[in-house]
Amino acid sequence: MVRPWWRFVAALALWAGVARADGSLRCGGRLVSVGDARIDLLGRCGEPALRERRVDERWEGVTDGRVGQGRRATVVIEDWTYDFGPRSFVHVVTLVNGRITAIERRSYGYASGEPTPIRLPRSRCDPGMLHEGDAKLDVLARCGEPATVDTWDEARGAFVVGEPGVAAAESVTIRVEVWTYDLGPNQFVRFVRMENGRVTGVSTGTYGYAD
């Protein structure tokens, strides 16, 4: 027969295991989730107590027999640690190239209070003035400095599948930058993607955070 206190311990252990891997984080009533951008994390939760950064490389490609097309990308991985004090859990938020990929709960914290969301600069950008093919100078002249910038390298080209692995036959390194513009709480955030200093796409995010 299972004693009642064993049931309690088993339930607590199950809850603790689930709590260690979470897909969201609440800061002052505002929710941050996996898939959100760096600007969402800053706008809702502010600066973390600790930032850690590392760089990795990943190869992506599709082969057709022994020859195919693919790319090797530099992946910038950041772990942001938020300390909400001794009555709340520490949360570690992992970002890959500026996007949240994981949120993990850990032990209770140490700080005296919650982090304060920072004041992000409002852009004077007119999104209608941004077009594919624009140069970096055009973006700066029309929109000014972005609120955040994410940068990484991608090596693209043809490759030959050999033994025991994949050997690149031809490769060109592309510098990828994503500039994020905050247009305030009444407009959507704009993400401007550039490759080697030229705009290749403009996409929207959530409503902004700047005053």
pLDDT by 10s per residue, the chain, length 211: 444 433 333 333 333 333 455 688 998 889 999 999 999 999 999 999 999 999 998 876 655 544 555 667 889 999 999 998 998 899 999 999 999 999 999 999 998 766 666 777 788 888 888 999 999 999 999 999 999 999 999 887 755 555 555 554 567 889 999 999 999 999 999 999 999 999 999 999 999 998 8
- Note whether 108 and 87 are within 8 A (CB): yes
Residue boundaries of the structural domains of the chain: 21-207
Name which of 38, 43, 32, 40 is nearest 53 in CA terms. 38
With tokens 């999104």, the residue in question is 127
- Both tokens of residue 10? 């088993």
How far apart CA 115 and CA 118 sit, in angstroms, is 9
pTM of the model: 0.77
How far apart CA 202 and CA 193 sit, in angstroms, is 6
